Structure 1
Amino acid sequence: MEASAGFSRLAEGVRRWVWKQGWPSLREIQEMALLPVLDGKEDVILSAATAGGKTEAAFLPACTRMAESPLPGTAILYVSPLKALINDQARRLESLCGSVGFPVTPWHGDAPEGGKNSLRKNPRGVLLITPESLESLLMNSPAWCGEAFAGLVNVIVDEFHAFLGTERGCQLQSLLRRIEFLIGRTVPRIALSATLGEMEKAASALRPEKTLPCRILASEGKGSELLLQVRGYRTPRADRGARPGLPGELVQDVYRLLRGDSHLLFTNSRSRTEELAAALSALCGRNFVPNEFFPHHGSLAPDLRRSLEERLQKKDLPTTAVCTSTLELGIDIGSVASIGQVGEPGTVSGLRQRLGRSGRRGGPAVLRVFAEEDETGPDSHPADALRLSLVQTAAVLSLLLRKWREPPREGLYHLSTLVQQTLSVIAQYGGVRADQLWTLLCGTGPFHAVGKKDFGDFLRGLAEKQAITQLGDGRLVPGTEGELLTDRYTFFTAFSSPEEYRLEYNGELLGTAPLEIPPSPGGSLLFAGKAWETVAVIASSKTVLLRPSAGGTPPRLAGGRTVVHDTVRREMKQVLLAGDPSRYFNPTAAELFREGAERFRNWRLGETDILEDKGSLHLFPWRGDEVVEAAAMLLRRMNLRADTFGGVITLPGCSAAGLREAAGRIPGRGLPSGEELAADAPDTEIEKFDYLVPERLRRRGWAARYLDVPGAAEWLGSLAGRK
Structure 2
Amino acid sequence: MGSTTDDRGLELLHPLLQHHIVNSLGWPALRPLQAEAIEPVLSGADCLLIAPTAGGKTEAACFPLLSRMGQENWRGISVLYLCPLKALLNNLEPRISMYASWFGRGVSTRHGDTTARARREQVAERPSILLTTPESIEAMLVSTTVDPTRMFGDLRAVVIDEVHSFAGDDRGWHMLALLERLSAIAGRPLQRIGLSATVGNPEQLLMWLQGSARGRPRAVVAPPTESAAAPDLALDFVGSTGNAASVISRIHLGEKRLVFADSRRSVESLATRLRDLEVETFVSHSSLSLDERRRAEAAFAEARDCVIVSTSTLELGIDVGDLDRVIQLGAPATVASILQRLGRTGRRPSSTRNMTFLATTDDELLRATALLLLLEEGFVEPVAAPPSPRHIAAQQLLALALQKGRIHLSEETAWLTRLGLASEQDMSRIGEWLVSTGHLDIDQGLAFVGPTAEQHFGRRSFLELLAVFSAPPEVTVLHGTREIGSIDPTFLVTKVAGPRVIALGGRSWLVTHIDWRRRRAIVEPSEQRGTSRWSGDARAYTFELSDAMRRVLLGATPKSPYLSNRALDRLAALRQEQAHTVSATSRVVVSEGGRVRWWTYAGARANAVLVAALKEVSALVGESGYDNLSISIAPGATSADLSSALNVSRERTLDVLLPEVSPDALGRLKFKELLPPDLAAATLAERAADRNSAEKLLAGSR
Do they fold alike, i.e. is TM over 0.5? yes
Q: CA deviation at 1:623?
A: 1.7
Q: Is the contact made by 1:50 and 1:330 (CA closer than 8 Å) also made in structure 2? A: yes
Q: 1:481 to 1:396 in 2, by over 3 A?
A: same
1:620 counterpart = 2:599: yes
* Residue of structure 2 in register with 1:232 after alignment: 237
1:462 counterpart = 2:434: yes
After superposition, give the CA deviation of every residue in 1:599-620 in whole Å (9 maximum; x if it has no partner): 4445552234122322222222
CA distance in 1, matches of 2:601, 2:6: 53
1:220 counterpart = 2:232: no
Q: Is the contact made by 2:603 and 2:627 (CA closer than 8 Å) also made in structure 1? A: no
Q: CA deviation at 1:319?
A: 3.0
Q: Is the contact made by 1:615 and 1:655 (CA closer than 8 Å) also made in structure 2? A: no
Q: Unaligned regions of 5+ residues in structure 2, if any?
A: 475-487, 497-534
Identify which of 277, 283, 286 aligns with 2:277: 283
After superposition, give the CA deviation of every residue in 1:558-586 in whole Å (9 maximum; x if it has no partner): 99743322222222233333355755110
CA distance in 2, matches of 1:395, 1:204: 30
Matching residue's letter, 2:310: C
Q: Is the contact made by 1:62 and 1:153 (CA closer than 8 Å) also made in structure 2? A: no
Secondary structure in 1 aligned to 2:387?
Answer: coil
1:327 counterpart = 2:305: no
Q: Is the contact made by 1:619 and 1:649 (CA closer than 8 Å) also made in structure 2? A: yes
Secondary structure in 1 aligned to 2:540?
Answer: coil
- Superposition RMSD on alpha carbons, in Å? 2.9
Matching residue's letter, 1:457: R
1:133 counterpart = 2:136: yes
Secondary structure in 1 aligned to 2:48?
Answer: strand
1:25-424 counterparts in 2 under 5 A? 25-40=29-44, 42-140=45-143, 144-209=147-212, 210-223=214-227, 224-234=229-239, 246=241, 248-284=242-278, 291-313=279-301, 315-362=302-349, 363-373=351-361, 387-410=362-385, 412-424=387-399
* Residue of structure 2 in register with 1:575 after alignment: 552
Q: Is the contact made by 1:633 and 1:680 (CA closer than 8 Å) also made in structure 2? A: no
Matching residue's letter, 2:336: S
Task: Among all aligned residue pairs of Structure 1 and Structure 2, give the percentage whose two residues are the same amino acid.
Answer: 27
CA distance in 2, matches of 1:188, 1:672: 36
Q: Is the contact made by 2:607 and 2:627 (CA closer than 8 Å) also made in structure 1? A: no
Q: Is the contact made by 2:51 and 2:57 (CA closer than 8 Å) also made in structure 1? A: yes
After superposition, give the CA deviation of every residue in 1:652-707 in whole Å (9 maximum; x if it has no partner): 524323333443453622558234x4467764343211232112212221122111
1:432 counterpart = 2:403: no
1:477 counterpart = 2:448: yes
Matching residue's letter, 1:417: I
Q: 1:446 to 1:98 in 2, by over 3 A?
A: farther
* Residue of structure 2 in register with 1:8 after alignment: 11
Q: CA deviation at 1:45?
A: 0.6
Q: 1:672 to 1:213 in 2, by over 3 A?
A: closer
Q: Is the contact made by 1:347 and 1:562 (CA closer than 8 Å) also made in structure 2? A: no
CA distance in 1, matches of 2:239, 2:82: 44
Q: Is the contact made by 2:599 and 2:631 (CA closer than 8 Å) also made in structure 1? A: yes
Q: 1:123 to 1:581 in 2, by over 3 A?
A: closer
CA distance in 2, matches of 1:436, 1:603: 55
1:538-687 counterparts in 2 under 5 A? 561-580=538-557, 582=559, 584-601=562-579, 605-610=583-588, 611-637=590-616, 638-639=618-619, 640-641=621-622, 642-651=624-633, 653-656=635-638, 657-666=640-649, 668-669=651-652, 673-675=656-658, 677-678=659-660, 683-687=665-669
Matching residue's letter, 2:288: L
Secondary structure in 2 aligned to 1:454?
Answer: helix
CA distance in 2, matches of 1:663, 1:3: 57
Q: Which moved more, 1:221-230 or 1:579-588?
A: 579-588
Q: Which moved more, 1:409-418 or 1:62-71?
A: 409-418
1:692 counterpart = 2:674: yes
Matching residue's letter, 2:670: K
Q: Which moved more, 1:586-595 or 1:120-129?
A: 120-129
* Residue of structure 1 in register with 2:463 after alignment: 489
1:708 counterpart = 2:690: yes
Q: Which moved more, 1:169-178 or 1:459-468?
A: 459-468
Matching residue's letter, 2:681: R
CA distance in 2, matches of 1:64, 1:152: 16
Q: 1:666 to 1:43 in 2, by over 3 A?
A: same
Secondary structure in 2 aligned to 1:673?
Answer: coil
* Residue of structure 2 in register with 1:524 after alignment: none
Matching residue's letter, 2:463: Y
Q: 1:434 to 1:361 in 2, by over 3 A?
A: same
Q: CA deviation at 1:109?
A: 2.1
Give TM-score scaled by structure 1 length. Answer: 0.82
Secondary structure in 1 aligned to 2:470?
Answer: coil
Q: CA deviation at 1:425?
A: 0.7
Question: How many residues are matched?
Answer: 634
After superposition, give the CA deviation of every residue in 1:375-407 in whole Å (9 maximum; x if it has no partner): xxxxxxxxxxxx443222112112223442111
Matching residue's letter, 1:459: G
Q: Which moved more, 1:624-633 or 1:338-347?
A: 624-633
Q: Is the contact made by 2:440 and 2:447 (CA closer than 8 Å) also made in structure 1? A: yes
CA distance in 1, matches of 2:160, 2:294: 23
Q: Which moved more, 1:225-234 or 1:269-278?
A: 225-234
CA distance in 2, matches of 1:29, 1:63: 17
CA distance in 2, matches of 1:190, 1:343: 34
Matching residue's letter, 2:439: A
Q: Is the contact made by 1:581 and 1:594 (CA closer than 8 Å) also made in structure 2? A: no
Q: Is the contact made by 1:620 and 1:649 (CA closer than 8 Å) also made in structure 2? A: yes
Q: CA deviation at 1:221?
A: 1.7
Give TM-score scaled by structure 2 length. Answer: 0.84
Secondary structure in 2 aligned to 1:234?
Answer: coil
